[in-house]
Structure 1
């Protein structure tokens, strides 16, 4: 497959509550003939904006992704998961260190939890272990990465939730 993903926009939610927690959501349009989920995950990993340490500008570091060396991430590192499992995991993470104000609850519901529940397919990047960390990958706290598919709308969303 030679088609590429088209970046549609990014939403960054900074908790601003002294926990250093944040959620980054990058939205993409799938190509006309995206192939299967494996093909789409490969396109995502190859996209220039996947080179994101979440400490510099997206696309500025082609060798790192989150805490990991990017060359350690393949589509085989993603596992299918269920929306209810991931929503519970993310809600627990989001409120682990401090109560969230109402406006942040509402924004997470609109930008994260609702799209999570309506995704037609959902994949989680498994923990690749510290041996896959890049030289300063330990800086990021718990690292949650999900890929949400809406095939009807030809859309893919990359969700990363972490702290630094």
Structure 2
């Protein structure tokens, strides 16, 4: 679910936010929470950098993190209240969202939180865990919901790239104009040089 697909009062309020929800069946012999988290981490769908490339079966990244550093131990058991609080803060970081967004979030995210037996939050792993370009993920939240009655594990990722949005709205055009100048003139522009229009 991309917030860009909905109409906001301020067209930039979507903040390049999105939610990705994936469901996996709990194995016939489910084991404990640590075993289920390990199975999730070992699943091919865990190899997604969430930057547009999709799942890469030989991928080495998971969101902003190096895949090799993802273990069941980096997931913290959290309450429904805490997970809802974290997500609600993420949802409303740029003000209220349209009713249509709220309705989808309620059905796809908050109702699933309420039904989960256990909820795990991917804790901050620290700077050493962030991969080479992982900082494009500014507000990355991942929750794993275990719902034994439904026989499924749900992995939900919520992301916002607010600095990226500001870059697209501002500095990107300046950088592109400098690059175009260099392509035409084969030198960097000076303060007095007129830069090409986009």
Query: Does 2:148 correspond to 1:151?
Result: yes
Deviation at 1:61, TM superposition (A): 5.4
Paired position in structure 1 for 2:122 = 125
**How far apart are the structure 1 equivalents of 2:154 and 2:62?**
16
Could you say which residue in structure 2 is the equivalent of 1:6?
none
Q: Which residue of 2 aligns with 1:43?
A: 39
More displaced stretch, 105-114 vs 85-94: 85-94
Q: 1: CA distance between counterparts of 2:143 and 2:156? A: 5
The structure with the largest strand share of the pair is 1
Q: 1:24 aligns to what?
A: 20
Q: How many residues align?
A: 152
Name 2:2's counterpart in structure 1: 14
Within 2, Cα distance between the matches of 1:143 and 1:130?
14
Aligned Cα root-mean-square deviation (Å): 1.2
SS in structure 2 of the partner of residue 123 of structure 1: strand
| Structure 2 stretches lacking a partner, 5+ long | 5-12, 162-198
TM-score, normalised to structure 1, is 0.89
Q: Tell me the distance in 2 between the aligned counterparts of 1:61 and 1:68.
A: 15
TM-score by length of structure 2 reads: 0.74
2: CA distance, partners of 1:57 / 1:86: 25
* Local SS of the residue matching 1:116: helix
CA displacement at 1:99 relative to structure 2:
2.3
Other structure's SS at 2:84 match? helix
Deviation at 1:116, TM superposition (A): 0.4
One of 75, 78, 87 as aligned partner of 2:75: 78
The answer on whether the counterparts of 1:66 and 1:137 sit within 8 Å (CA) in structure 2 is yes
Query: Secondary structure at the residue paired with 2:143?
Result: strand
Where in structure 1 are there 5+ consecutive unaligned residues?
1-12
What is the correspondence of 1:95-106 to structure 2 with a 5 Å cutoff?
95-106=92-103
Greater per-residue helix proportion: 2
Q: Within the alignment, does 1:107 sit opposite 2:104 as a pair?
A: yes
What CA distance in whole angstroms lies between the structure 2 residues aligned with 1:107 and 1:61?
Answer: 32
Superposition map of 1:129-140 within 5 A = 129-140=126-137
Q: Aligned equivalents of 1:60 and 1:138: distance in 2? A: 22
Asked if the contact 1:51/1:59 (under 8 Å) is kept, the reply is: yes
How far did 1:23 drift?
0.7
Counterpart Cα distance in 2 of 1:101 and 1:61: 38
